[in-house]
Structure 1
Amino acid sequence: MASYVEGGKDYNRDMNYIGDRITQDGRDGWPVQAGRYRLIAARACPWANRTLIVRRLLGLEDAISLGLCGPTHDVRSWTFDLDPGGVDPVLGYERLQQAYFARYPDYPRGITVPAIVDIPTKAVVTNDFPTITVDFETEWTDFHRDGAPDLYPDKLRDEIEEVAHRVFTEVNNGVYRCGFAGSQEAYDSAYDRLFTALDWLEERLSEQRYLVGDTITEADVRLFTTLARFDPVYHGHFKCNRNKLDEMPALWGYARDLFQTPGFGDTIDFVQIKRHYYVVHSDINPTGIVPKGPDLSNWLTPHHREQLGGRPFGDGTPPGPPVPAEVVPAGHTPLPA
């Protein structure tokens, strides 16, 4: 397994991704085209989880197919061990690494999810997770379902990006800076920054139902995937333990509100999430033991956030049930079957 902690140092995420965009005008050589691309994700990964949520909310299942990697991987690559024979049925690959090498034979960086693969060439197009969901929202509009919400409205984009920037640096990536800190000093600094940001969010969300405006936006998707992993993983495994999420009333109510909203909780696989972190990060958890707790049934308790007003989907409608092949397995989620 790879080493995630570098002794004596802060954790710095490598943000150099393949920056190609799939757009209506095809300016990077990749035009929007239904059926041409395959989203490769893993339910365990918070960055990939964003794409699963947005794809569901917008109804892009028929336009962009989905391949799911298993929750664990080795130093080389995520693998398709959930599929029969361990092979993705569309790409014919055992490892996501093969799609990267099909385009860049000497690709030097980590093999990450989410990734979008061009099916005709079986080569990776992009793994730039911050732009993948934005492009789903703005470039794939011809294939949105009837009633799809506007997750990236023009009038709110500046505020969405401002809020999302702080959420990313201090919370989404902040938990990793705690967990992968290589010194006490680095950990202490990361811990303080994380909980300063969570306190800011607690205050913000005590007065409004969603992060920006009165409907669900891209900003909410980005925060939710970290909150869903906080008590099961980050509190213990990453030592983010000033308090649990369920001890922060506004954030906990907000997280439950979203979890119980179609398109959010039905993408969450708590079994895979815990298995990923506790098994893959062997330098943090060398025994590989996956904890049995916490009790996750509290995700279904009433949140009362509707009292703050707001309309989850604005002028749109909720998505329908998940595609049968994409339903989270029974026992992996507290949601009823």
Structure 2
Amino acid sequence: MEARNETAVSEFHLLGLTNDPALQPLIFSLFLSVNLVTILGNLIIILAVSSDSHLHKSMYFFLSNLSFTDVCLSTSTIPKMLVNILTQSQSITYTGCLTQVCFVLVFGGLENCLLAVMSYDRYVAICHPLRYIDIMNPCLCGLLTLFSLLVSIVDGLLHSLIALCLSFCTNVEIPHFFCELAQIIKLSCSDTLIDNILIYVAVCIFAGVPLSGIIFSYVHIVSSVFRMPSSEGKHKAFSTCGSHLSVVSLFYGTGFGVYISSSVTDSPRNSSVASVMYSVVPQMLKPLIYSLRNKDMKEALRKILGRTVSHQ
């Protein structure tokens, strides 16, 4: 049996996106700007929904929860990267790394579930418009959100416990700007067969089921829209779910793109750069998508801007 140099790991090293010191100030400025735009944009969405009575509907209730999730997801990864650049350090504690893994999985899973719940909301609105208010009542909306949170916590804790059971060799360098579960598993000296099987099963359950729900909802939505007699009704129906469909395409499109790029390239550094597209960019663009494509949201933001200007 081959001997392995296993050791008690106290910290990992996050290698970031580049080794070039000259690029570090540019990366710091870029990610600081992205993080501020993400937080500000999503907080404005939450403020608009909470302050405008016209937006006190299930669709915008889920949207505000999605925006809060995006803020949490962004702040789970980027601030530590910015601190490491400022201090010219690459270290993150073992506990901090596993905590980051857990938070990323919980909020990433919650986003996945909320997108599925929002697609169900759009399905009821378009396919059962007369029963929409009765079906999507506040009690059901709260239960769906709570269930999504509980499922995401279970998913995050399950994967974190898997990582907690791993043993590591002398190499503790993660070619990424945050602790990603897949990269941690690659560093392990343990036999990871069971771990990988559990991860694939968990992904099929916690990601496959919401994605299947989204596909199911939109198949029925499209079928219902095509049966509408008037072109005006079709346009209104598509505009109702256009923002959500754009966000779903962005979320899953970037995720699948990164998965494919990591499969065809052997460079961990290229994979880490590509992962920015799913871990940073969607959270920044979502407020812009909902602001530009949703008439009610644009009106609510216009009111907030008007009140802000009048108070100055």
Normalising to structure 1: TM-score of the pair?
0.27
Larger radius of gyration: 2
Asked which structure has the greater RCO (Cα within 8 Å, sep 6+), the reply is 2
Normalising to structure 2: TM-score of the pair?
0.29
Question: Which has the larger share of helix?
Answer: 2
